[in-house]
Chains A and B, each alone.
Chain A
Amino acid sequence: MSVLGLAWDKNGICLTCRPDPALPPRRLDELCHCEIPRSVRVPPDLSPEGNLAGHVLLGNWFAPPPNRSPREQALLASAVAEYFGNVLSALQNDPDAQVLLLDSIDQLVIVTPPHAHQQDVDALAKMLPATGLTITMVTHYAAQFAGLCKEFLPMKPFLVCEWDEDLVFHPVVAHPTLSHVSRTGQGSKLKHVGARRMQELLTRHVVARHPALFSDEAAAGKVSSMAALRAAADAFVQKALAGGELAFAAGGPKEPVTARFTASVRTLPPGRPHPTNGTRPEGSSSIPESLRAEPSGEPWAISLTEDEVLASWKPLLDQVRNFSGAAAREARAMGLTACVCSGAMFQAPVFASIVHDAFEREGVLVSTDSPTVTAGRGAHFCVRARPMLSYDCGVLIKLRGARTGIGTLVLVRPAAVGEKRQSDVLALPIPNAGGALLDLAIYLRRLDEQATSVVCEVLKSHTFSPALSTDRQARLQVSMRVDEDEVLGATVSVDIHDLNSDDHIRFNKLPLRGTEPLSEPPLRDPQQLMAADWANRIDAIRRSPSGSRVRTVSDWRARFEDWGGVSRGFYASYILNSAVEFITILAAACNEGQEELLEGLALLGAIQLSDPNFVRNAHPEEFQAEARLALFEAMRRGATALTGLGCNYCAAWLEEFREASDAPTEERCAQRLLNAVSQDLAGREIESAVVEATSKVAQMYHWTCQHPSTLNVAWDGSLD
């Protein structure tokens, strides 16, 4: 996790990190704006300016051949060590970088350039341990290949493509030390297809288009014109390879270029001053001052559009395309499925795409990103990170079926292996309405890829029936510990302690992998759960067509009281249905006692609650009493059937309520039955269905025990 990748090219240093193990490594500068030192002070022997940019310094260190005096070598080594020290110090003092690097860097992976000499690599590695880090040197090709395959570097051959002045393909295999690669098999080379050739083609194209200007090089003044053109073309090619525009412009002595994006060449009349508007095109600014100042020759100006420039390079591009296609076919035939690229020509997307397209057509994997960035990211796949918690871990408990529950973070990054934390006591009141079944979710928490939002995903969910305290609270305490698994790396072991029963539920070595998003973030306070129902109502009212017109207290109150209002008939059928469903499910689940259950069904048909007249006219309290009776009878018969199956808790419940002449007006009898069923059927095949049905009956029983005026039932018959 705490690995910093470091690669560079001629444009600068590329630092990478991997804040999220589920996602590929990222460039550090894409995630935060920490100020990394770009240069380091050096003695005048190394640079007359007194300082060197980091990437130039490293470029010098690995510059072939190392033809330096011992003093120069020592000065360079000292500057490199100081530069690394400055970079690491800046990272460790930048708060955002600290977050992304899990507070500290354990390991630094340096991507060495393709041409690096082994003695330079060794020398750099020996120079840096003073920083206290584990330093791993990875050759550019190995890092790029690992980044391409997004996996720990497999030791299998792959194809390397180098494109500077020549285009070279050759198969290689990474050495186990990762600090160098070995060639294997035969390669192929296409000569003279680099920047020099581009400059030549462009110059030739311009000369061919304007023979009048450059026809006689021996003539006075034409030599400097030609030199100016070549210099402009050379500068233009360098810019194009750095990703600059492909519209070319050049101007002759004295006269600035006036027009761009025109295909024509204008020769201005001698002596007539060229209009200047203060804006100088890119191409012209690169013409050396000495050439521009030279007064010889007629003034001239040339500009080419992007299409014209590309047309001038067409022979080169066609050659490369054909050669790459052949190399890709050959690679496939040899069983090489991936190709990594390096070289100056790949800096320009237009050239890189030629090779990429040729390889993609043949089904060979190739990185379309900048080689340096790919290598910087790939460096992370070459090493194994110290196992530590990669996400924050929390726990959420809620009543089954509820949207919202209470919870807390338990472990946060970067907890190391062996670290253990315990939550505070999570006391969840079990309202009379719900069953005592709890859904527990262990969740992972992280920031999204852009660090713009919090993402929570369920790592493990579990449903269980907790013991309740006398004040009807489930009291749990959750402990988490970071463990290590040989295959999975860091894992989390969770212990859920039911403080009421002193039972433990344990999950060992859960891999840190999220499944589904957590639907609602946890509330912190059990009392806040009261707000969840109100929040649902408010949202629904706002979403309704007339929601925007609800403004006054009376408006809101009227809408709240309308909420979910049901008719007497609906209420009666809902209660009867839950009782019938309970008995039916039990009848299906039980082999014995079915007759009694069926009798129970018949009895339900005979009670007053199934009489439409009673339902329409009964006094609300009589209605409630009858509803209670229906549910109580169903529960009693259900408990009898379950007792026949050897359910001891149900037998105890039955014993307690067998003699009750009337349905108890306290809902605890239904709650106790639910607990009894949960405990008796734990682990049995029928558990889920029967517990679900019992839970529903318990919920209905709760409603029947309430004062009628507190229910959303239209007792006045207005909805019947």
Chain B
Amino acid sequence: MNAMKHSGYPDPGAASSTAPSRLPWSPQDLQEALKVFLRTGDCQPCLKVLGATTGRNPLLALQQALRSATATWERDALEDIGFELSRGQGGLGTARPDIQDLLQEVERHYGPHALQFLSVEKTEAIVRGLWRLCSPPPSRECLLALLGIEIARAVGEPIAVTPEVHGKSVTLYNKQCGNCGGESDGAGTVYCHRCLAEAKKVLKAGLADGTYNVKEGATSNMDVLSRMFLRQFAAMFGCTQCSHQPVKPCSCAREVEIPEHPVLGQVLKGRQLATGNDWFCYVRLVEG
């Protein structure tokens, strides 16, 4: 009764005689089908390769494929299909949208500059994640809305657009700007200190000898008057320090053209007045 073991393990040689038979599918076909799944979310080609569309239990088929897969991406894709089948999706739900189509739609909706703030990889990652986590997957409208918010986050700066400014050019300043004090005070202008001191001196002398007069009711603050004076007679001043530009727009000053029919979230391209560089913002519609 040597073969009748109470317990114990078979010798390794014994196991080899019962080695699994050849896989009933071509590994190349399976890889191609898995790539289709990764690209589109459609697992039917994969199930077809595994023979699960002809009555075989698809989860057992996937489990067998999992055991034979060697690359991590293949295993992960097979496991993902298993999860989808478990949750009753099984490729029967909505296929993932084509990313290029989606981006074109984003461009149509949020303007030609929007895609500067939304990469293909990021869009693909979000869509794949949503198709994995949401059941049922989100609608096209929902996707466009959330991608619009992603774009807005990337752009960073909103511009409040009222009906009064539709079709006009708008200049913006930062109220908290440490250089110019913002729109409420310095109107987005930066003054050369040396030239300003010179202007103040000239103004004081002019006021004293009556060359210049201050209108009644105007401020008597010499600092404010000096800035106004320098702005008005900038051509009279200039030094090497300011490259003969005693009055310059502040770096916080930006100008942008508001379209006739702005759309919420639309990305607009303007320019920074100080440098002439491009500046982007997104539209936030506000009641007038």
Contact = CB atoms under 8 A, between A and B. Distances in A.
Interface stretch (B153-161, B198-206, B216-224, B253-261): B153-161
Contact of B60 (A32, A524, A550): A32
Contacts of B134: 535, 538-539
Nearest to A526: B125
A523 B129 contact: yes
A541 to B, nearest CB: 9
A598 to B, nearest CB: 34
Interface string A389-429: 00010100000000010001100111000000001100000
Interface class of chain A by DSSP: mixed
Given A414-B67, A524-B76, A535-B129, A709 B3 contact: no
Contact of A453 (B13, B86, B121, B142): B86
A553 interface: yes
Contacts of A709: 156-158
B14 A556 contact: no
Contacts of B121: 527
Interface stretch (B51-59, B225-233, B237-245, B270-278): B51-59
Contact of B20 (A92, A126, A538): A92
B141 A555 contact: yes
B7 interface: yes
A556 B145 contact: yes
A460 interface: no
A553 B141 contact: yes
A535 B130 contact: yes
A93, A128, A129, A523 — most chain B CB neighbours (10 Å)? A523
Interface in B1-33: 1, 3-10, 13-21, 24
Given A528-B128, A538-B138, A560-B149, A95 B60 contact: yes
**Most chain A beta carbons < 10 A, residue from B24, B61, B125, B127:** B125
B169 interface: no
A664 interface: no
B67 A412 contact: yes
Interface stretch (A100-108, A312-320, A604-612): A100-108
Contact of A560 (B57, B83, B145): B145
Nearest to B69: A412
B51 A534 contact: no
Contact of B59 (A423, A454, A528): A454
Nearest to B160: A709
Contact of A531 (B133, B139, B145): B133
Given A122-B1, A134-B3, A447 B130 contact: no
B129 A132 contact: no
B72 interface: yes
Given A125-B4, A621-B176, A530 B122 contact: yes
A561 B149 contact: yes
A155 B130 CA distance: 57
A140 interface: no
B24 A133 contact: no
A696 B55 CA distance: 52
Contacts of B265: 557
Given A178-B4, A560-B149, A424 B141 contact: no
A126 B156 CA distance: 80
A384 B8 contact: yes
Contacts of B153: 710
B111 to A, nearest CB: 14
A447 B125 CA distance: 28
Contact of B66 (A412, A525, A561, A621): A412
Interface string B75-96: 1100110110110000000000
Interface in B144-182: 144-146, 148-149, 153, 156-158, 175-176
B1 A96 contact: no
Given A137-B4, A408-B75, A412-B66, A530 B126 contact: yes
Given A384-B7, A556-B146, A622-B176, A104 B129 contact: no
Contacts of A538: 130, 134, 138, 142, 146
B126 A409 contact: no
B145 A557 contact: yes
Contact of B109 (A2, A414, A525, A553): A553
Contacts of B126: 527-528, 530-531, 534
Interface string A108-134: 000000000000001001101101111
B49 to A, nearest CB: 12
A523 B61 CA distance: 22
Task: Tell me whether chain B's interface is mostly helix, strand or loop, or mixed.
Answer: helix
B14 A134 contact: yes
B148 A32 contact: no
A179 B21 contact: no
A454 B57 contact: no
B79 A445 contact: yes
Contacts of B144: 553, 556
A131 B59 CA distance: 30
Given A179-B1, A531-B133, A103 B20 contact: yes
Contacts of A554: 145, 264
B116 interface: no
Interface in A121-170: 122, 125-126, 128-129, 131-137
A602 interface: no
Contact of B57 (A96, A128, A179, A619): A96
Contacts of B75: 408-409, 412
Contacts of A555: 141, 145
A556 B5 contact: no
Interface string A570-591: 0000000000000000000000
Contact of A132 (B17, B76, B138): B17
A270 interface: no
B194 interface: no
B100 interface: no
Contacts of A527: 121-122, 125-126, 129
B175 A619 contact: yes
A619 B134 CA distance: 38
Nearest to A91: B18
Contacts of B7: 383-384
A102 to B, nearest CB: 8
Contacts of A524: 73, 76, 80
A98 B20 contact: yes
A104 B20 contact: yes
A451 B14 contact: no
Contacts of A539: 134
B176 A619 contact: yes
Nearest to A530: B126
Interface string A527-561: 11111101101110000000000111111110011
B104 interface: no
A326 interface: no
B18 A105 contact: yes
Contacts of A404: 133
B4 A136 contact: yes
Contacts of A523: 129, 132-133
Given A92-B21, A535-B133, A538-B134, A134 B83 contact: no
Given A92-B18, A95-B61, A132-B18, A707 B3 contact: no
Contact of A125 (B1, B14, B57, B142): B1
10 contacts: A129-B3, A136-B4, A177-B1, A394-B79, A408-B75, A409-B75, A535-B133, A538-B142, A555-B145, A556-B142
The 6 closest A-B pairs by CB, nearest first: A531-B129, A132-B17, A527-B125, A556-B145, A528-B129, A535-B133
Given A409-B66, A409-B76, A709-B158, 13 more contacts: A32-B60, A99-B60, A106-B14, A125-B1, A176-B6, A177-B1, A453-B59, A534-B146, A550-B142, A551-B139, A555-B141, A556-B144, A556-B146
Interface of B: 1, 3-10, 13-21, 24, 51, 55-57, 59-61, 63-64, 66-67, 72-73, 75-76, 79-80, 82-83, 85-86, 109, 121-122, 125-130, 132-134, 138-139, 141-142, 144-146, 148-149, 153, 156-158, 175-176, 264-265
